[in-house]
Every structure is written in structure tokens, then in C-alpha cells.
Chain A
């Protein structure tokens, strides 16, 4: 059963986000991947509003005559990048309030929008079990984005997932853009092999860990029998008190640090995003701080 995360309200939010991004940051991955910017090739790609300081030779005067408003013509660079977004579609992503899956889809859609805005090609994948299922393939331009992005609602978060095995068996591409992996990473499964594969393939890496409020700060106390949502045979039966919660938070810190360090050691980025965090806060807070957005 699909989710209805991508809807009119969300797209409006994305539009607003785009406007803010224009005024405040240079763009996604700005400065690091000049080749992904709109270039000076002859292939027309899109229009955007004219901003003082733009090259006036690229103003489309015919459009100006028709709409009495200045638009800048954009051209595809010859080195078009391919952003690949991988979403962990495991059952555990359905937990939390709001669900982590919702935040994962919203993050994926936002990343996709930023990429198509820069005329990159975008593909989105859902990881089910040991395989990577293509949800959106080779999406280019905003029209295409608007046509296909709703497919993210169809992703079902019902399976057990092995990120490492799934990525290893898939074609991740060769050095032509970002590979964004969105998951809660709450497993001791070997996801490092996936990161290693991205690195081997010269892909730029961004790992986004989404955790729910309860995972970040557990509230229950007392004698608890906790069942694992993905594997009922896994359970934890202890009295949860302050010391136990502190140990839990230490374990959480250890896990997040390990992923972060691993990503950074492979030249990638890592972000921890709470499931309840607003999209604008993610982009203007976490991503700017991290240097993903500049």
C-alpha cells in the first residue's frame, strides 16, 4: 500500500524551498561539481527568472516580448550528472510518529528536485530484501519531476532489507554523480560494503540516517519486553532505567559516529535527520552546516 507523502502541499513546500535556496545558497554541491552546472552548450534545457548579475546575452528576448518579463535561458552542460537515491524500504522505516518512511520519501523528493533543478539526471531506488528496485529512472527536468515524483508514494516499506547485498548486486554507475543512501541504519548488517562499492565506483556519497523521536530519546521506563519490528525472534527483556537509557544513548552515538566516520573516510557525507524535522530546517541547517549546500 503506497503512502501519500508527495502531494500538492509538499510540492508547494518544495517550490518555496527552491525560492529560498536561490536566495540563500549557491546550489546543491555548488562549487564541487562545476560540470553539473548549466553550461554553455547549445542544448536548451529550461528557463529561469532573470536575476541581476546574470549574463544578459542569455536573456530570451522573444519570451520577454511575449510575457514582458525577463527569463534566462539555461543550457545543458555536456557533462550531465546522474544522482541516484536509494531508499531503505524495510519495515523498521514505518516506525515512529511521524514515520521515518515519510521523512525518507520527503528527503528523496527534495534531493531529486534539487538535482533536476541543476539539470542532473535523477533515479530513485527502493531497497527490498537483497535487491534494488527502480522507482524512478533517469528523470530530467522539472516537467519530468512533476510527472514522476509521485511514484515515491508507491514504495512499500514491508520487507527485511540487506543494504549491503542489495547495493553490491546493483549497477551503481561510474563516477557520474551522487549516490544518496537514506536509511535508519539500525542494523549491524554490513552496509559498509555498499558504501565501499559507491566509493569504488567513484560515486559521491551521501548517507542520510533518519531516526524517530523515540529512537533518539526513548521514553519508556520499567520492566520492558521489546520486540524487534523486523525480526520477532530478536527481543530485549530488561528493566529500563536511567542507566540503561544512558547506555542506549551511548550506543546510538557510537552507531552514528561509526557511520559518519565510515562515510567521511570514503570521501562522503553523513547526515542524521530526525523524522520530525522540517524540510527547510534540514536544508538550511544540517545540509548547509555539512557543506552539502553552499
Chain B
């Protein structure tokens, strides 16, 4: 026997105090009466004495001592060891998205938690409990917890995820728990069907009658002021005619009742006049047990793109005209003298035959830069005049970045009459064009971590600006300088979304569908966001001083949408052992009952003594 709170035994100190009080109270009370004659006479009339009468005092004392003893023990919480009476319980809980499916008043996950709690409540005291939740990741929620209350509290705090759980993950988690202790009672609580289960108990919380619709494969085209959307709708458990709606920028613009057969994907199409949109949503309006897969929202990638460009040049019309033609941009041109007074921030700075004293914080194009600039990532060896105009050479590199930057650039002859020799270039620079092994056009990240493009010759003294390659190259360089923050807006839950960390990007924040602010780790110019919720993620950042938001939609996994799954065999390898652990017996209830009996008995003795009740 051990005590949970041995200090409670200090209450036994009260016993000698009670005895002292009893002795002090045993004194006779003096009182004057009219006459003691009748009292003396009463001796003759005293019948056979009740044996209890003389013992009430000592009985009361004994009861009080017992009461103090029991109270002390109750506070000290004695625990008796019962050899081999308890078990290790390990619960593998399927926390995949399908467990969010509503069946009746509660979801499958809530039902699963109730089942586990019932097992724990019925378990012998002294047992230990472990809970492993399996979704797209395997998480040990608690391990070898011996307190039932703590285990139940932790179980109640768990939530089902929006991601999927693989059969292999569940099996792996269970096998790992079994390997750890082959005498453990392992329970797999899931909505998936498993036919055979050796060394493991399966608690199936799924039913066949859960009703569910889902939307998949949303595609669209937007041209000529018309938005055309197609999607596929499925009903898993019965043929039905659900209503499917299309909403553009939050406003319902079309709806259609679609006849779908059980388990068959049925296409639905919408066409709606639309000049411009930020997002549209296809949704099954009919309610079912699993709402997470009833809608898909698509965001317009182009609508979020913003350009702001500052050209520093005496004659910047080349770039201004081309950039205006290529992109929807705010372009401003200033002279080198005026540049000194510019205080606004821009996404792209183009310095034409001018070298700023310090590089600005943003994407930079340096045209005909013949002087070294701090943090530019290259040195200047000097300017070279050619006796005759000569052709520059397009890079033959197969590097992805080079190929992307030279996309659609034919490499037709480009003549130059002079060029600047550069040296000591950063290793991350990619040469796009060169002359006599000297890099003439190259791109990379400068010392400030911003994207930088360098033209090593004067465009005014070259025919490059007149060629189609110039336009194509500028288009590629603009894309390079203004990369999309996100490359696509639609993902499936569990996937990783890539976020491009563009120049001047500050205060990067991601708000999850459930409203949590997420921290994402950036690796250079990209960051990875793991999508583990279904719904819209809002990515916000400050670009050139402006708060800019991007949205991506994470849709439900098709496998998790199925109310039922195919049957699988589920067995754990290994020999089950029966080395039970010692159980515990907490006699607190017995102590409370004893305490109640003692109180009643003591009260009875008190009443008997005080009021002589029979």
C-alpha cells in the first residue's frame, strides 16, 4: 500500500486532541436543584440499566477517532497494489478527415472518442493508456498515462484533421505500439473497414448509411468577358439530384440541379458573363454528413499581381514603352538628378547608364553599369570599345533558371559596339548573353538578397532594343523580377504550397481556414506551406509598402470523402504475451462510505445522549 498524499496522515495528530477533549468533557456538571429527594428516591425505581447508556461516551470517542482516521486516510489517498490486474492500453485513433463525417448527432471522431473513453472507464485502476492519432502524420498524443481523468481530458482535447490517413500509417502505428509492448491491448478506432484483426481490437465507428456529396476537378476558362466553369459532382451512397451553384466573388450567379448516380462522377458546367473576377466557388448546396468536400473555391492568380517600376534614365522611353506594353504596371521615369529626391519604394528599379551610390531595396536592373556598386555582386574592369560592331553570344546553359529566362528568345544576331568587362561575379549569377567569354547580360541575387539583372552594354548603341528578342527577354526578366507569390491557387489538403518570397516582401503572414496565424519557414526566395486544413488560406505580405494578399484553396481529399472504404485485412505480426501489469485499488469510495456511516453513527450516539431518543 502506498499513499498518494502522505501529508494527509498528519490529520492523525487530531486523535490525541480528541482524547484530551473527551477527558476534559467527562467532568460532572454542578447544579443546584430544589431537592435531591426525588433523585435519591429514583434509585429505587431505576430499572435494569441499558448497557449502552454507560458506553455512549466511549462509543462516541471511538467513533470520533475512527472518523478522524478515515478522513486522514481519505486525504492521504492510500492505493493498494493488485498484482497483474491491469493492462497497458494503446489506442490508435484514425484522425483523418473522413472522421469529421457527421452521423446522427455526432461525428465519427466524437463517437470514436466516446468509445475510447468507455474502454478507459471500464479498465482496472493502475492501467496505463496511450493514444496515437494518425492523419497525414502520426502523433503520440499521450503515452503511458496512468490517470484515467488525465487520459480522458487529453482525449477530449483531440481534434480530427482535414488530411487523409493511409492504411499503412495506421498499420504502422499499431505495429509499432505492439512491438513496443506485445502484452498491450491495442485498439484501432477508425471508420475504415477491416475484416481480420489479430492481436488488435478494431472499433469501427463508420456506417454505410452516411450521406455524402462531393465536388472535384474544377476547371475554368476566362475569355471574351465570359467565365466558363466545369466541375464534377458525386453522390456516394445514393442516386440524387443535388443543387450545384456557382458564385463569383461571393455572389451566386448560377445554379444547376444535377442528376447523379451512386458513386459516379457527373460533370456540371456553368457559363457566366464576367469581365474580371477575384474568385469563384462551385458548391453542392444540398447538405450532407461531410460538408468539407461540398465546395471548391478558385482564386484568380492574375488579379493579385502588381507591378511598380521606377526608371532612372535620361532617355527611358525604351523601357517605359516596352513595360507598358507587356504588363499592367505603374511605371515612373526620372532623371538621375531627380532620383536623389525619390522617397517612394518600387518593386523594380531600372538604372539606365547610371550607377546609384547604394542599391535600393528592390529588384534592380543595371543597364550599362560601368562603375562598381556596393552589394551589386560584381566588379567592373572597365569599358571596352569594339573597332567593329560584333555579335554577342546567347548562353547555351541547360540550367532551369537560364532556360526560363531565355524562354522564347531566339538568339538572333545582336550587335554591340562597346561593352563593360565585369569580374568577381557572385556564384548565383546566371549568364544569359556573353561576348568573348565576358558576361554581358546576367541575372541573380545581389548582396541585399534582391533579384538583379545586369546589361553590360549601352542599349542606345546596340540594335538589341529593335529586335523581338528584346521584348521576349524583357518579358522573361519582368517575370523574374516580379515573380508570382504563388504559382497556383488550388491544392488538395496535405499538399505543400510553394510561396515565392519576392523582393521587398515584408511581414509575411498566413491565416489558416480555422483562423490560426501560421509561421512558415522561408528558404531563400521560397517558402513551403503545408496545407493541413480544408478551406482558404490567406497569405499576406507588404510589398513596396503596400499590404498585398493572396489566397489559395485547399480542397478535400477524394479518398476521405468516401463514407465507406474497401475492406482490408489488419493483423499485427508477433506473438501476443500476457504479462499484465500491477493494478491499483483506490479505496476512496469505501472510505467515503465509511465516513458517512461514522458520521451517521456519531450523530445517532449524540442524539441518543442529548435527547434520549429511542
Contacts and interface: CB of A to CB of B under 8 A. Distances in A.
Interface of A: 92, 95-96, 100, 184, 186-188, 212, 214-215, 220-230, 234-239, 241-248, 250-252, 254-255
B45 interface: yes
A221 B33 contact: no
B42 A250 contact: yes
B34 A184 contact: yes
Nearest to B611: A221
Chief secondary structure at chain B's binding surface: mixed
A229 B34 CA distance: 5
Nearest to A237: B28
A244 B612 CA distance: 11
Interface of B: 26-47, 49-50, 53-54, 56, 609-610, 612, 614
- Sorted nearest first, the 7 A-B pairs with minimum C-beta distance are A242-B612, A250-B45, A186-B35, A251-B41, A247-B42, A236-B39, A247-B45
Contact of B33 (A214, A241, A251): A214
A161 to B, nearest CB: 11
A118 B36 CA distance: 41
29 contacts: A95-B33, A100-B34, A188-B37, A214-B33, A220-B29, A221-B609, A222-B609, A223-B28, A224-B29, A225-B28, A225-B29, A225-B30, A225-B31, A226-B30, A227-B31, A228-B32, A228-B35, A229-B32, A229-B33, A234-B36, A235-B36, A242-B50, A243-B53, A245-B612, A247-B42, A251-B39, A251-B42, A254-B45, A255-B37
Contact of A227 (B33, B44, B50, B53): B33
A243 B34 contact: no
Contact of B28 (A212, A224, A230, A245): A224
B46 A243 contact: yes
B41 A184 contact: no
A215 B610 contact: no
A227 B35 CA distance: 8
Nearest to A187: B37
Contacts of A243: 46-47, 49-50, 53
Contacts of B53: 239, 241-243
B32 A92 contact: no
Contacts of B56: 241
Nearest to A234: B36
B42 A184 contact: no
A92 B50 contact: no
B27 to A, nearest CB: 7
A92 B36 contact: no
A245 B613 CA distance: 13
A181 to B, nearest CB: 17
Contacts of A214: 33
Most buried by A among B36, B44, B46, B49: B36
A187 B34 contact: no
B28 A244 contact: no
A226 B39 contact: yes
Given A221-B609, A243-B50, A227 B41 contact: no
Contact of A229 (B35, B38, B50, B609): B35
A100 B43 CA distance: 25
B56 to A, nearest CB: 8
A170 B41 CA distance: 30
A247 B34 contact: no
A38 to B, nearest CB: 41
Most buried by A among B30, B33, B44: B33
Nearest to A223: B28
A226 B32 contact: yes
B54 to A, nearest CB: 8
A243 to B, nearest CB: 6
A236 B609 contact: no
Contacts of B609: 221-222, 241
A230 B35 contact: yes
Contact of B38 (A95, A237, A242, A251): A251
A235 B30 CA distance: 10
Nearest to A240: B39
A1 B457 CA distance: 140
Contacts of B31: 220, 224-227
A246 B53 CA distance: 13
Contacts of A244: 42, 46
Contacts of A220: 29, 31
Contacts of B32: 226-229
A251 B44 contact: yes
Contact of B41 (A215, A221, A224, A254): A254
Contact of A252 (B29, B33, B38, B47): B38
Contact of B39 (A96, A212, A246, A248): A248
A186 B42 CA distance: 13
A181 B37 CA distance: 20
A59 B34 CA distance: 53
Contacts of B33: 95, 214-215, 226-229
Nearest to A251: B41
A166 B50 CA distance: 44
A250 B50 CA distance: 17
B612 A186 contact: no
Contacts of A188: 37
A95 B37 CA distance: 14
Contacts of B54: 239
Contacts of A254: 41, 45
B39 A241 contact: no
B604 to A, nearest CB: 14
Contacts of A235: 36
A160 to B, nearest CB: 11
Contacts of B34: 92, 95-96, 100, 184, 186, 212, 215, 229
Given A226-B33, A237-B28, A241-B53, A215 B47 contact: no
Contacts of B50: 241-243
Contacts of B47: 243, 246-247
Given A251-B41, A255-B41, A228 B46 contact: no
